[in-house]
């Protein structure tokens, strides 16, 4: 058997490698966004890419989120495969007209004539003391919009592996990269892996409770599962990977087994994706649930700057573990 | 206005028309008659859609193009088939001249499966892949970035195509205009920005919406060259667009063309038209692009009464046919409601090159 | 006892009267938006107001949603009480930066120093064959944002009565008027009523099932309740009135009584406000529920133009009634 | 540049400064020394925040103003206390000169309850109601509409106040710039638009972001008058702002002022600065607004070494005090996490007039 060579790299490198690989494989692919070139990417993700691919394929844009996102739509419709980078999801509000009023609905309005094979990458999430205008988690909010696909890679493997299928997807795909994960390190097969962009993955097996989560929440949930394991509670951790369309099957299968579910989402609770997950699970498995589905979410505040306040506003492993321990009928 | 050095566009054949009539930069009799015919086609189609709206065959918003025909015809006739067109909710005329069949337009307005978008889009969202007609958008100004992106694609693919973007005077106020103009200029993209200035955005008079009403000056502030033209005069628009298109293809830069025109009808079918005087409309109607051009052709001895009647008759037949076609149209099955939210195409993971 | 004089008027008139009343009472109040003046309002709501109040208080704006919404924020912070009208919620995407990145968080970011007493009115909803770019119901989506208050008047009385308390509210308030309701007629006390903007209201009493809804959904739900009554099923209909913050108390009280709940929302199902309602009810009343909470929502499609398709995409009274009849353990 | 007809602003007293030092349109010795002092206060404060960032006392993003001091000082010193100021995430200098205490700024950067926003805002979101400082916004260009609205309020209330909006060269690319400029001009609003052109938006060189780099021309395209000024020369900025403010208050119209300046430090603490040459920074540092103005005052015999040292010493004390104040600061209680999401004030329904 051929030895499976593993390579250690950061999430940041994984995104970069994914982009490089795509640009090498397919000359329709190009990267466009603010400071992706000369600066090397505001989170240093595209460092070196300008030098490697030149300014015609790594395009620094002026500060015009609506303009260049819309230009990405047009370029995609004109036969290219653009990767548009919006620095953070907070600034994507300036482009939401293009994302929602254009990208998401061209196919439908044109009766199937014009698809928009566009990938938009954005950083998301809090925890870096960047305050209210730089720390939102709006991926679940975008997942409300029909016509969009929403990916949330949480591992190095997914960060690398999801981009290519996203580019191959005929429809607009949003990829949310949690800023806190950029420095996170992991291993992956030498050439990256083939991953799909349609299924959730069980990242830890357990019989007692299902933690349904994604993105940064995965790592916090795995930590929580570790805490719980010490007390004899075995949590299964489901990484959604894709927020639209949700992979009901994997979710339901897990909860059918554990009869208990907790949703962990750094986004705000009210009207967040956590509510959708809770509702779906309850609608489907009401009579199998041992107790109501719980949600551990970000506090409903604009992100505060001060560290102690911000940390208090985010779901923490201890809080997740605590919530689970309080659930009805759990041994441990 | 309208006094431009004539040039020869890269491709003079009007590949955009259904009839594929050749039109040269110095159009002769038959080309001029073709231009007139095209304007009449729009007008008669619009009049019919108006009628059908009052009969409740067509619903939703309906924005008519009566009075502005010279713009669509004068410009699109000079475009190449491969050029992309991006338009607004007032796009029936553009769609027709781009080469869409009146049948598929009318059927779409009827909401029928035989319409270009299978009844999903309606009046404001005509699309046609065959003729590179990238749709009517009903969000003011939001087609401009798309046109910029199409031009990027053309440039990246070393095609000599241009993208042509129609928008109203109201769109100029929006931030997306600003961003798009800057990008197109900065990156030397082949975009023809066509502002159809009909002096109102819904009920808002142009001069109450714009601090600077000289739009070419505005374009210049992005280092984009341009011109203003009498949008009621099809030959003036035609000449201006020849110049514009040549400039774009040769200089590899965008161009801004303001066409000063007027809509004869209300903004949409719901508009009580409180904001303008009947007399103003009457004044502008004296400059009706169709009647004035007809007279000119007659004066020049290029068109006699019989020919004119023949044109009108042929067009009326085309319009009638489109109505019949639409009346006979079928409803998209309700089971197809969610079709085209996403592409049918399955995940293509294994098709990777 | 003084006779209570009732006046018949349309929802459209009610909104207009509310605005007139506010402008007469308080000279800090002004109306600003596209075509609110000369045109008379795109839905004819502000007809005559330009003539009555002049162009300094009824301000026609250029097409600049971000610009004039932001100007409303500034004017509010400068001591005025602007009513900003955005023609429809679909165009508010162009102003979402101002609404979310500015209005919603000034108070928090300034540590309580600067509140934003701004009212933004917008039309919402489908059903008029206006297709995908003119027919969304995004009020539930905005209700996800902390710092905003979200009102959805469904009756003539609320359309008239909610504006004044919204203007008095120190924080930004979004008011969503369903376009289909503008022609709806109702009665109300001569001088309008004092209504609050913090509670939900039971609009019909019933013991068997709670229909939780708002806006246009109220009218469809009342119709559904009529259908059900003929079969002996008594539905209670709760009009939320306010989507943020939600009035838990009224909702829970009703469901505690009926043990069954259906959420009716014209908005899209996935990640909509319907999910939040379903989750909250289940979290609180899991052990009191006779069956899982159901949701009757808009189909997850960009609104189609053709009437038969559009109608099929919207929740209809028959569908609501049918869903309830299918619920476990209901007599009738 | 900088050669303006001098005028007298409506109120010459610098009500914005903590020290309430009077500054006239033709500033004399003491006024000039005051201007220098103000620049030194910014510089020393920024240097300290840099140091404290490296010590991890300050976190998040930190955007420093070193090199640009002449802009904040030259303009804000001429504003009236009632004038509103809207700024960006690079606003420490503006905040300080507007009259906020260094203590409340530094404590905010420390994330302490004693900071102006109780630690909720941090470096990018300083606010002060007392001095009409309407905050730093970290969304590029999104303060411009707010400034327009403040000016509307001032005008509606017949106050003679103006709103002054600071933004970078990058903001000019955004749609919100376009919409705001048009509204301010159209409605004749008293807004001073101050573009702090430091020739980079993060790593994006100005000339790669703007098709038209003459920003005053851009302003003119909205029928807004304006000027460009050497933003490294505090007297030039001062004179330009006297002229601008007089124009705004007298003509009741907006004015656009481009201040050409340079940031000596990286964009933020995370910036690897790959996009510019060290030599370029060196060149600009020769034009350091503080050293050049110091030399000028010394040459003019207005400042001797002792005075200068005295100023620096006093400022250093102020800075030290702000650090001590912040070090002693307390944490906002976690129970207050959700405070100020909404106003504490209860529903005021019964307070209706
Ligand atoms: C972003 C946005 N704001 C508002 C509207 C509502 N609206 C539709 S058409 C229109 C007027 C547009 O005027 P103009 O651009 O001059 O085009 P015209 O209708 O005159 O052809 C308005 C305000 C919209 N569709 N999109
Ligand atoms: C809308 C938006 N897009 C992007 C960013 C990220 N960003 C922060 S500062 C900045 C550069 C702004 O440059 P400029 O306006 O020239 O101001 P400067 O930093 O030079 O003072 C960028 C791109 C942002 N904060 N907001
Ligand atoms: Mg117009
Ligand atoms: Mg800059």
**Mean pLDDT calculated for residue range A134-154:** 98
Specify the pLDDT at position D345: 63
Rg of chain B's alpha carbons, rounded to an integer?
20
> Alpha-carbon distance D74 to B239, whole Å?
52
How high is the mean pLDDT of chain D?
91
CB B94 less than 6 A from any atom of ligand 1: no
Q: Which residue of B has its CA nearest to D186?
A: B211
Contacts of C68 in chain D (CB under 8 A): 145, 179, 183
Q: What is the DSSP string of C210-238?
A: EEEE-THHHHHHHHHHHHHHHTT--EEEE
Whether the per-residue pLDDT at C330 is higher than 80: the answer is no
Specify the pLDDT at position D18: 37
The CATH number of the structural domain formed by C7-189 is 3.40.50.970
Beta pairing partners, D232: none
Closest Cβ–Cβ partner in B111, B121, B204 for C34: B204
pLDDT in tens, A265-324: 999 999 999 999 999 999 999 999 999 999 999 999 999 999 999 999 999 999 999 999
**Mean pLDDT calculated for residue range A96-100:** 98
Specify the pLDDT at position A329: 73
Spatial CB neighbours of D328, under 8 Å, sequence gap ≥ 6: none
Spatial CB neighbours of D295, under 8 Å, sequence gap ≥ 6: none
pLDDT in tens, C121-165: 999 999 999 999 999 999 999 999 999 999 999 999 999 999 999
Kindly give the distance from the C-alpha atom of residue B45 to the centroid of ligand 3, in angstroms, as a whole number: 21
CA dihedral B88, B91, B96, B100 (to 10 degrees): 50
| Domain regions of chain A by residue span | 7-189, 201-325
Closest Cβ–Cβ partner in C96, C131, C293 for A96: C96
Closest Cβ–Cβ partner in D84, D116, D352 for C78: D84
pLDDT in tens, C41-90: 999 999 999 999 999 999 999 999 999 999 999 999 999 999 999 999 99
Rg of chain A's alpha carbons, rounded to an integer?
20
CB A94 less than 6 A from any atom of ligand 2: yes
Spatial CB neighbours of D322, under 8 Å, sequence gap ≥ 6: D45, D48, D101, D102, D103, D105, D106, D107
CB D210 less than 6 A from any atom of ligand 2: no
CB D205 less than 6 A from any atom of ligand 2: no
Percent of chain C residues past pLDDT 70, beyond the cut: 97
Q: Is A43 left (phi over 0), alpha (psi -120 to 50) or beta?
A: alpha
Question: Which chains neighbour A (Cβ–Cβ under 8 Å, 3 or more pairs)?
Answer: B, C, D
Specify the pLDDT at position D349: 36
Whether the per-residue pLDDT at B346 is higher than 60: the answer is no
How high is the mean pLDDT of chain A?
96
Determine whether domain A201-325 maps to CATH 3.40.50.920. Answer: yes
pLDDT in tens, B64-88: 999 999 999 999 999 999 999 999 9
CB contact under 8 A, C110 and D129: yes
Determine whether domain D25-352 maps to CATH 3.40.50.970. Answer: yes
Question: Which chains neighbour B (Cβ–Cβ under 8 Å, 3 or more pairs)?
Answer: A, C, D
pLDDT in tens, A178-236: 999 999 999 887 666 779 999 999 999 999 999 999 999 999 999 999 999 999 999 99
Specify the pLDDT at position D251: 96
What burial letters (b/e) apply to B144-166, b meaning 16+ CB within 10 Å? bbbbbbbbbbbbbeeebbbbbbb
pLDDT in tens, C232-249: 999 999 999 999 999 999
Residue C34: which of A275, A244, B275, B198 has the closest Cα?
B275
Specify the pLDDT at position C269: 98
Contacts of B83 in chain A (CB under 8 A): none
A7-189 and A201-325 share one CATH topology? Answer: yes
Ion ligand 3 — residues with CB under 5 Å?
A: B 168-169, 198, 201
pLDDT in tens, C310-329: 999 999 999 999 999 999 77
How high is the mean pLDDT of chain C?
96
Whether the per-residue pLDDT at B43 is higher than 50: the answer is yes
Interface test with C, best of A275, A286, A287, A327 (most C CBs within 10 A): A275
- For the CA of B170, the closest atom of ligand 1 is 15
Helix axes A273-285, C273-285, angle to 10 degrees: 60
Extract the tokens encoding D61.
């993003």
Contact between residue A70 and residue B145 where contact means Cβ atoms under 8 Å apart: yes
Provide the ipTM. 0.96
Q: What share of chain A is helix, strand, coil (3-state, %, to 5)?
A: 40, 20, 40
> Per-residue confidence at B230, pLDDT binned at 50, 70, 90?
very high
Q: Which residues does chain D have with pLDDT short of 70?
A: 1-24, 345-353
N-term to C-term CA, chain C: 42
Whether the per-residue pLDDT at B307 is higher than 90: the answer is yes
| Domain regions of chain B by residue span | 25-352
């Amino acid at each position: 058997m051929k030895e499976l060579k593993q390579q250690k790299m950061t999430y940041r490198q994984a995104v970069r490698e994914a982009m490089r690989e795509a640009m090498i494989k397919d000359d329709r692919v190009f990267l466009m966004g603010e400071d992706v070139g000369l600066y090397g990417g505001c989170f240093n993700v595209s460092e070196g890419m300008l030098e490697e691919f030149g300014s015609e394929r790594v395009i620094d844009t002026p500060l015009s989120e609506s303009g260049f996102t819309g230009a990405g739509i047009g370029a995609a419709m004109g036969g290219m495969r653009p990767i548009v980078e919006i620095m953070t999801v907070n600034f994507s509000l300036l482009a939401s007209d293009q994302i929602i009023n254009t990208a998401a609905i061209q196919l439908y309005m044109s009766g199937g004539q014009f698809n928009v094979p566009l990938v938009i990458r954005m950083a998301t999430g809090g925890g870096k003391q960047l305050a209210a205008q730089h720390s939102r988690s709006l991926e679940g909010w975008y997942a409300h919009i029909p016509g969009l696909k929403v990916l949330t890679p949480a591992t190095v493997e997914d960060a690398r592996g999801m981009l290519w299928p996203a580019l191959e997807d005929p429809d607009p795909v949003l990829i949310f990269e949690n800023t806190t994960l950029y420095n996170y390190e992991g291993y992956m097969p030498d050439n990256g892996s083939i991953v799909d962009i349609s299924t959730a993955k069980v990242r830890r097996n357990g019989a007692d409770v299902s933690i349904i989560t994604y993105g940064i929440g995965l790592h916090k949930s795995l930590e929580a599962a570790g805490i719980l394991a010490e007390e004899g509670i075995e949590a299964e951790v489901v990484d959604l990977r894709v927020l639209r369309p949700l992979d009901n099957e994997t979710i339901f299968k897990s909860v059918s087994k554990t009869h208990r579910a907790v949703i962990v989402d750094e986004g705000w609770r009210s009207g967040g994706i956590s509510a959708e997950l809770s509702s779906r699970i309850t609608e489907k498995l009401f009579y199998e649930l041992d107790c109501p589905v719980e949600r551990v979410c970000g506090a409903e505040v604009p992100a505060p700057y001060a560290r102690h306040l911000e940390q208090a506003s985010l779901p923490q492993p201890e809080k997740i573990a605590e919530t689970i321990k309080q659930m009805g009928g759990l041994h441990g | 206005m309208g006094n431009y050095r004539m040039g020869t566009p890269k491709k003079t054949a009007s590949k955009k028309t259904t009839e594929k009539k050749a039109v040269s930069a110095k159009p002769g009799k038959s080309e001029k008659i073709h231009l007139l015919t095209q304007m009449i086609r729009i007008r008669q189609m619009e009049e019919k859609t108006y009628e059908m709206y009052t009969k409740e065959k067509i619903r939703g918003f309906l924005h008519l193009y009566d009075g502005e025909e010279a713009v669509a015809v004068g410009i699109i006739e000079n475009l190449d088939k491969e050029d992309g067109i991006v338009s607004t909710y007032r796009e029936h005329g553009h769609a027709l001249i781009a080469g869409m069949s009146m049948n598929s337009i009318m059927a779409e307005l009827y909401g029928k499966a035989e319409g270009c978008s299978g009844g999903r889009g309606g009046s404001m969202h005509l699309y046609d892949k065959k003729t590179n007609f990238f749709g009517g958008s009903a969000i003011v100004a939001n087609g401009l970035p798309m046109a910029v992106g199409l031009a990027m694609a053309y440039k990246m693919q070393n095609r000599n195509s241009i993208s042509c973007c129609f928008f109203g005077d109201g769109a100029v106020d929006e931030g997306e205009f600003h961003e798009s103009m800057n990008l197109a200029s900065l990156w030397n993209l082949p975009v023809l920005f066509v502002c159809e200035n009909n002096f109102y955005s819904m009920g808002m008079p142009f001069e109450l919406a714009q601090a600077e009403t000289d739009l070419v000056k505005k374009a210049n502030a992005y280092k984009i060259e341009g011109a203003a033209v009498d949008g009621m005069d099809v030959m003036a628009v035609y000449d201006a667009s020849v110049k514009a298109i040549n400039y774009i293809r040769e200089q590899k830069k965008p161009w801004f063309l303001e066409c000063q025109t007027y809509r004869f009808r209300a903004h949409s079918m719901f508009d009580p038209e409180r904001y303008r005087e009947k007399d103003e409309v009457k004044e502008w109607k004296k400059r009706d692009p169709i009647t004035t051009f007809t007279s000119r052709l007659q004066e020049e001895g290029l068109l006699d009464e019989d020919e004119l009647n023949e044109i009108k008759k042929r067009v009326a037949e085309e319009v009638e046919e489109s109505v019949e076609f639409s009346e006979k149209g079928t409803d998209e099955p309700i089971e197809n409601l969610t079709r085209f939210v996403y592409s049918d195409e399955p995940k293509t993971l294994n098709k990777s090159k």
